[in-house]
Structure 1
Amino acid sequence: MTDTAIAPDALPAAFAAAGDLDAVNALLPQAGVGPGWAKPKPSVYPQPNRIFVPAHWRAADTRAALDSASRYVDTHMSERRNLIMVNPHPGNDYATARTLVAAYQLVLAGETARSHRHTPNALRLVLDAEPGAYTIVDGNSIPMAPGDVLLTPNWKWHGHDNRASSNAFWIDFLDVPFIHLIEPMFFEQFADWIEPAGDPQPDSPFRFAFAQTGPAVRAMAETRPGERLMELGPPHMTTIGLHLRHLSAGAALHDPRTTMNAIYAVIEGTGSMAAEGKRFSFSRGDVLVVPAWSASDWIADSDVTLLRVSDEPMLKMLGLLRSEQPD
């Protein structure tokens, strides 16, 4: 950049008088533009420029951390007592994958978590909950049982009411990073803390009860040897896709690279996943992330059921869903 500022009206004459390309480049910042012929880094590239990395979080660790934190953090101090699964790539401080975030949450016995609503879509996978634990969605008490998936679509009031005698523990998934990117973030707290709710609605359309979905995915025909894949819905969310993935004991599967970001939560079973030179052993309640354009290899030590949370429907809608073709 030139050391001396040039009046806007004088810029055309300055460009005309530039004696070489370096002189032109030096004047460009004063016109508020950058040279497309000398970009500091490429703006297009032959394939995705992967930044987020495969990672794994253990439920045992996070449950112990939340149990400890619950002695000091209540739902008045923080509406959601949760631990965010921050992808360990340099510079990241929130997202689990480019478009998605996951967090473990704990609600104590007899505790309520304030109702609120927001433009991000959200859902939860229940790990531990006894009868009497509810998520309240738009005034409806929806029971929570282990393995259940509960939806809180965007701008619907939702809060939590644990009337059981034991603590409730689950995993939240949201498209907050995507909303941060495109910016239509809105959030509102319910004025009277917790939204009044009527009788429990076990058959709510916002609940996929594992008592039904678990046997259903196990009874499906295989999508490929050792694997069964079942979409959850309707209802569907426009930005988040949900699938139950069942792996038979002994299955060994390779997933090619895809533009889809996927977070996997282990509902039952044990096994391992390898991606980008890292191998992670997993068990019930653990979470794994396979970011866009990362291949992964799965081995099931026992029968495994996973919840896959992805941005697949959004990519399909935009015509951006691609998978690497085998050689």
Structure 2
Amino acid sequence: MSTATKLGGSNLQAALDQLHADVASHNMAPYWVVDRTVKNDEDSRIRDTRKAIPFSWTYKQDIEPLLYRSAELITTESSERRSLVLVNPGLAPKRAAVSTLYVAYRLNDPNEIMPPHRHSPNAIRLGLTGKQNFTGVEGENITFGPGDLVLTPHDTWHNHGNKGDENAINLSVLDLPLVETLCAIYFEHDYTEEEEGQKVRRIMQTARFPDNYSQTVYGSGGLKPRFVSHHRGTGAASPMYVYRWDMMREALERARNFDGDPYEALMIEYVDPTTGQAIFKTMTFFMQMLRPGERTMPMKQNASLTISPYEGKGYSIIGGKRIDWSPFDTVAAPGGEWCEHVNTSDKDPAILFVASDEPTLKALALYQKHGKTKTGEIVRLA
């Protein structure tokens, strides 16, 4: 006869409580299911209880006013950055919009340039306002405007700023939470260049490439120059460091009368022009067009997304929750939640900028995507 059978009832519960207390006191956790109550269901308890939730941050109502207030109080003398980082309530206090992606809005005053730095996370910047946003990356000076996407890949020296006479706001997305989880995070700020055999600190990178280099070399899809090196930075990301909005917008417009995908509408991915793969190993980016009145069918994937509307208005239903959106908002769509999008205009398209950790899941053979048919049947899409 087992000890559990001998004890029975309240005596058994008291013995179990003491066992669990003793296990916890030695910095361990039990993994056995005594019953299916929340307290004792260890299949649930081994999972992280902090989960990103469907959520939205509004640009006009909250983000923009706070950015301009910060501009009055935070100068480049007191800080190299003036950014608002989005914190998902389900993950707080961790600085993450969804479990693997960090999103921030940055405002630069007119004619201010910050010194170079580099870090292990990959990053992009999407221009929102201002025509003279600036990023210098690995010797290529990039001036960009609304809708332009600029890369600062892992371990590349880069600096940011604004060369214009008006304020400039851009959106940043990094894989920082993922890199931090993998214990691979670092930042460096001691930028130097060699001059006459000596290392000299610089507050600006010396330009090593002509203006508009990325566009000149890689701006003709399907044509790959053989007379230049495509190994830039660490060689682990797209060598094309800026993707211009006018080219993306034209591509979406050309496809406007296509049937599109019932779950994703018209979606175009930013890719490495030398491989056709995602621009980073860890995350990928899309522009997604919903034609007037278009509604996507419900889809669930284990990739986590952030969705930042760029044009138009509408709403999404994520995990059963309706979230209305307007230009420059950001919406968190955590992996594992059913998601659908609706363009509420019957005249104008809605265009969404989407970031996803899909490449990471695919690299680990973990990626899955499911959809619901019109009859409610669940089908596997990937």
After TM superposition, the score normalised by the length of structure 1 is 0.84
Residue 92 of structure 1 and its aligned partner are, at CA, apart by: 3.3
Q: Distance in 1 between matches of 2:111 and 2:326?
A: 29
Identify the structure with bigger relative contact order (alpha carbons < 8 Å, sequence gap 6+).
1
Answering whether residue 360 of structure 2 is matched by residue 321 of structure 1, we say no
Answering whether residue 98 of structure 2 is matched by residue 103 of structure 1, we say no
Q: Distance in 2 between matches of 1:41 and 1:306?
A: 40
Q: Distance in 1 between matches of 2:303 and 2:165?
A: 40
CA spacing shift, 1:25–1:108, aligned 2, 3 Å? closer
Tell me the equivalent position of 2:244: 209
After the TM superposition, which residues 139-178 of structure 1 pair with which residues of structure 2 at under 5 Å, given as runs? 139-178=139-178
CA spacing shift, 1:197–1:275, aligned 2, 3 Å? same
Tell me the secondary structure at the aligned position of residue 99 of structure 2.
coil
Whether the 8 Å contact between 2:54 and 2:319 is mirrored in structure 1 is yes
Amino acid at match of 1:196: T
Residue 280 of structure 1 and its aligned partner are, at CA, apart by: 2.2
CA spacing shift, 1:87–1:31, aligned 2, 3 Å? closer
Whether the 8 Å contact between 2:97 and 2:103 is mirrored in structure 1 is yes
After the TM superposition, which residues 303-318 of structure 1 pair with which residues of structure 2 at under 5 Å, given as runs? 303-318=349-364
1:299-325 CA deviation, whole Å, 9 max, x = no partner? 112301111100001101111111235
CA spacing shift, 1:270–1:22, aligned 2, 3 Å? closer
Amino acid at match of 2:326: S
The RMSD of aligned alpha carbons is 2.6
Whether the 8 Å contact between 1:257 and 1:292 is mirrored in structure 2 is yes
Tell me the equivalent position of 2:261: 224
CA spacing shift, 1:43–1:118, aligned 2, 3 Å? farther
Matched pairs, number: 306
1:151-208 CA deviation, whole Å, 9 max, x = no partner? 1110011111322111111100001111111111111013433323354326351111
Q: Distance in 1 between matches of 2:172 and 2:24?
A: 45
Tell me the equivalent position of 1:14: none
Q: Distance in 2 between matches of 1:183 and 1:239?
A: 15
Residue 209 of structure 1 and its aligned partner are, at CA, apart by: 0.2
Q: Percent sequence identity over matched residues?
A: 27
Amino acid at match of 2:260: T
Task: Select which of 342, 347, 351 maps to 1:299.
Answer: 342
Q: Distance in 1 between matches of 2:48 and 2:28?
A: 26
Task: Select which of 306, 309, 315 maps to 1:263.
Answer: 306
Q: Distance in 2 between matches of 1:253 and 1:65?
A: 33
Residue 140 of structure 1 and its aligned partner are, at CA, apart by: 0.8
Tell me the secondary structure at the aligned position of residue 170 of structure 1.
strand
Tell me the equivalent position of 1:121: 122
Q: Distance in 1 between matches of 2:306 and 2:26?
A: 44
Tell me the equivalent position of 1:37: 32
Point out the more displaced range, 100-109 or 188-197: 188-197
Which runs of 5 or more structure 1 residues have no equivalent in the other structure?
1-19
Residue 136 of structure 1 and its aligned partner are, at CA, apart by: 0.5
Whether the 8 Å contact between 1:238 and 1:313 is mirrored in structure 2 is yes
Residue 38 of structure 1 and its aligned partner are, at CA, apart by: 5.8
Whether the 8 Å contact between 2:59 and 2:329 is mirrored in structure 1 is yes
CA spacing shift, 1:224–1:28, aligned 2, 3 Å? closer
Tell me the equivalent position of 2:202: 192
Tell me the equivalent position of 2:281: 238
